[in-house]
Amino acid sequence: MADIAATRPRSPLTLARSGGNAGVYLAFVVLLVALGFAAPRFFTFGNLTDVLRQAVPIAVIAFGATFVIGMRGIDLSVGSTLALSGLVTANLIVLGYPVPLACAGGIAVGAVIGLVNGILITKVGITDFIATMAIMVISRGIVMVYTQGIPIVGASDPAFRMIGQSYVGGVPVPVILTAIVFAIAFYLLYYTRFGRFVLSIGSNPDAARLVGIPTDKIKIAVYVLVGVLSAFAGVLLTSRLEAAMPEAGQGYELDVIAAVVIGGTGLSGGRATLFGTAVGAVLMAVVRNGLNLLNVNTFWHQVVIGTIILIAVAADRFSRRQKA
């Protein structure tokens, strides 16, 4: 079982240095330098701001996915949850509902999807891969049936636009909200019993159950958490676009997994690093932005992302074998 003391670092700085993710920090710096030479526009203030804004949805979801993967689970429904939650939020805005109620409605959809995932996995006994893949397909199908493939436009309420488009001191509000989500997730994972239980389950589910950890309840709570964060990312994206796009979130599950694994969270569970996840999410945005600046065909983007995932997983396996 995971060392409980290890899940409560003395300070955030101590945690940033731990986790075996120094390689991703180095890769991140090398990538920034390389793009600075290859694409001089990369280091302009406007482009860097765009990179951070593009990283927001993936980062927000990835913070929740860090709990899931640290628990030795997987959630493939995050992109579809984002799309369905954004659709509900935009539709409520267009119908004239108050912005707080519309956002709460969208986030509630994410919570329900997470709850369904958790129940299917813990109570019905369906594997996490199959359960979340089925929910992914169902949620995306609902979005396509309702919209008929046509975006829901008109979500232009000024108060709603502020969530995804305004700035505070030159910093985009979505970036500030992402930092708040990170702080909350950091506290939950490293300074509460909930977080220690999550990593204990990921380290050894049977041992965790034997020592009295309510594994089913923790698993359901984790899937609800990632559902809520996926929905919140959907609200942020919908506010930025002022519309709900039927194809929103497609492929996000791959980017989220890549961000989490690249950051140092092991697919075999028992360890997680939110600092690494944050760097991984920004790195993914930097890669996509750099490919665009270099005029690389968009069809090659998935090839690059897939290669990054493969390298990250292989490095994780190699690191574990070396420690063993």
Summarised one tens digit per residue, pLDDT across range 25-84 is 777 788 888 888 888 888 888 888 989 999 999 999 999 999 999 999 999 999 999 999
- Residue 156 within a domain: yes
**278 or 24, greater pLDDT:** 278
pLDDT at position 89 over 50: yes
Alpha carbons 60 and 87: distance in angstroms, whole number: 18
Residue-level pLDDT at 7: 44
Least confident residue range of 8-12, 191-195, 208-212: 8-12
Residue-level pLDDT at 311: 75
pLDDT > 70: percent of the chain: 90
- Residue 144 within a domain: yes
Domain count, the chain: 1
pLDDT at position 267 over 50: yes
Q: Which domain holds residue 283?
A: 41-315
Alpha carbons 317 and 259: distance in angstroms, whole number: 16
pTM score, whole prediction: 0.90
Average pLDDT over residues 273-284: 90
- Residue 278 within a domain: yes
Residue-level pLDDT at 88: 96
- Residue 36 within a domain: no
- Residue 9 within a domain: no
Residue 234 contacts residue 81 (beta carbons within 8 Å): yes
- Residue 31 within a domain: no
For the chain, the straight-line distance linking the first and the last C-alpha, in angstroms and rounded, comes to 15
- Residue 305 within a domain: yes
Q: What is the CATH number of the domain that holds 174?
A: 1.10.3470.10
CA distances from 46 to 41, 43, 50, 235 (A): 9, 8, 6, 23
pLDDT at position 8 over 80: no
- Residue 34 within a domain: no
Alpha carbons 39 and 218: distance in angstroms, whole number: 46
